[in-house]
Amino acid sequence: MAFVLVVDADSDVRRMILLLLRSEGYETESANDGAEALALMRQRRPCLVLLDINMPLMDGWEFRKQQLEEPALADVPVVCMTGIVHPEDVERILGVPCLGKPVPFSSLIQTVAKFRRRSAS
């Protein structure tokens, strides 16, 4: 079963994404910020991280920086989600796909499915 880590400071957003992904057959875990996400990733490697950009403690920018500095975690795929920063700016700066919030459920499922197929190959 594909394991997806959802990282978002908004508990309602996390809950909705977790419910959606679980209904599609994904195994999920969630984190409130980047530091918590890195700790979880060190315990269990996800096939994908869905990452909010604006979070307290450790935001998405710092998470991505630290993730890339850890060889065991650097190649875990990340898709950012943001409602404040322009998604195309995030893609250009971080070099990862970015979805604008609110993310339509169909777009989210399609995006996650692409990474599930990649990790299965």
What number is the average pLDDT over the span 53-75?
Answer: 96
The conformation of residue 55, written as its DSSP 8-state character, comes to -
Tell me: pLDDT of 8 over 60: yes
Mean per-residue pLDDT for 38-51?
Answer: 97
- The pTM (predicted TM-score) of the whole model is 0.94
Ordered by where they begin, the domains of the chain are: 3-120 (3.40.50.2300)
55-57-63-67 Cα dihedral, nearest 10 degrees: -150
